[in-house]
Amino acid sequence: MKITIVQGAFYPVPPLKGTSLEKFWHELGADLVRRGNQVVHISRRYPSLPEKEILRGVKHIRIKGFDSPKLHIIRIFLDLIYSCNALLNLPSGDIIVSNTFWFPILAILRPRKTGKLMVSVDRMPRGQYKFYGAASCFRVPSMAVIDAIRSESALAGSKCVLIPNPLPFITTNPPNLQAKRKIILFVGRIHPEKGVELLLEAFRIAYQNDLPEWRLRIIGPSSYSFGGGGTEWQRLLEDRSRSSGLPIDWVGPIYDNDRLQTEFAQSSIFVYPSKSGAGEALPLAPLEAMSQGSVPIVSNLDCFNDYITHGVNGLIFEQGPSATRNLADAISLLATNSELRQSMAEIASTVRSSHSSDRVAGMLDTVFQRLVNIKSPTF
């Protein structure tokens, strides 16, 4: 089959800026080529990358894109400009995969020879799915997202197929659980909706009660252009944490995958206290941590239920008025019980097979075959 992947307007492919969507679609493209498909990947133009090249069998076409703005309304407008350009650059093919906001609306104008459209749903819906009539299928990473789409549009809900986000760049070597350090890790955007302030306060409580030998490491961007809450806001958090005297490392963003995987591999506990129930579809960072044997602690958002079972391969804490205490208790439980931590880490690391890029590429391949062989797919 001939497959075209239309990436978003704001980040380059390959994922030079470490963003999760670009990570796993870059890897999936290569896996789909290995399965005998022809793949064209359309993404934003970037200074250090040629406008056209072939990487790992995938043909890359790079068109004018943009740095991500602070205001969401401007982001949507820039996505419209980019999606129009992507529409003009579509090659002939059998399947188009898109994860931009506007492209599935504009796709009604595409030439028939460009193929059937699969929309890859990588954020919670915001009312747009009733306008995505050009889509033959929706690739949805979690049941929470399927339920949200169905609440917007029964027709769109009938076209959903559950395929999880894959783990990109995972080595065949299993994690070394004996080499773990007393590190609690957060990797993600430094933004209020990610629960960073909640994590800092919960770590303070747990550290003072039980964890004198543990460190907290915070990795991720805070600039608006990468979806953060702003460098000034991070600076306030850093000043507050320094004045407390707690062992907290503000690492900043890490875009080199080998370095980032080392951080996951060294940590014993991974905390992702997201408050963004309206945004999270299936976050990649907890999966990456689990694949390296770092036990996750996450908030009780529905999207985590697809791959984390409380008390089995991680802990889920309740949000609400007692969220800080609940998170502090979860951190203390794992940090002070090495046997529990070890058993959970062993089970958590099985996502290396259940969410491997090769397995997910196979699931996509099966759906693509169905799409090209029937007129109106229903899943």
Strands 160-162 and 183-187: unpaired
Structure tokens at 347: 């089970």
Supply the pTM of this predicted model. 0.85
Output the pLDDT for position 98. 95
Output the pLDDT for position 377. 43
Reported as a single tens digit per residue, the pLDDT across 274-319 is 986 555 567 889 999 999 999 999 999 988 988 999 999 999 999 9
Alpha helices, H only, the chain: 20-34, 72-88, 103-106, 143-152, 154-158, 196-209, 231-244, 257-266, 284-291, 323-336, 338-348, 351-354, 357-373
Query: What residue ranges of the chain have pLDDT lower than 50?
Result: 376-379
CATH level 3 topology of 2-166+356-373: Rossmann fold (3.40.50)
Reported as a single tens digit per residue, the pLDDT across 166-201 is 998 766 678 899 989 999 999 998 999 999 999 999
Structure tokens at 97: 């995969």
Q: Which residues contact 297 (CB under 8 A, 6 or more apart)?
A: 269, 270, 271, 272, 273, 314, 315, 316, 317, 327, 330, 331, 334
Structure tokens at 105: 């609306």
Residues of the chain with CATH 3.40.50.2000: 2-166+356-373, 177-354
Output the pLDDT for position 122. 84
Answer for the pair 68, 226: CB distance below 8 angstroms, yes or no: yes
Answer for the pair 214, 202: CB distance below 8 angstroms, yes or no: no
Answer for the pair 368, 93: CB distance below 8 angstroms, yes or no: no
Output the pLDDT for position 378. 44
Answer for the pair 193, 319: CB distance below 8 angstroms, yes or no: no
Tell me the C-alpha to C-alpha distance, in Å, between residue 266 and each of 175, 196, 315, 360.
9, 21, 19, 27
d(C-alpha 246, C-alpha 164), whole Å = 37
Strands 269-272 and 137-140: unpaired
Tell me the C-alpha to C-alpha distance, in Å, between residue 200 and each of 90, 194, 235, 249, 273.
46, 12, 14, 11, 11
The owner of tokens 């070394």 is 176
CATH level 3 topology of 177-354: Rossmann fold (3.40.50)
Q: DSSP class of residue 218?
A: E
Helix H or strand E encompassing 161: strand 160-162
Answer for the pair 158, 379: CB distance below 8 angstroms, yes or no: yes
d(C-alpha 36, C-alpha 16), whole Å = 27
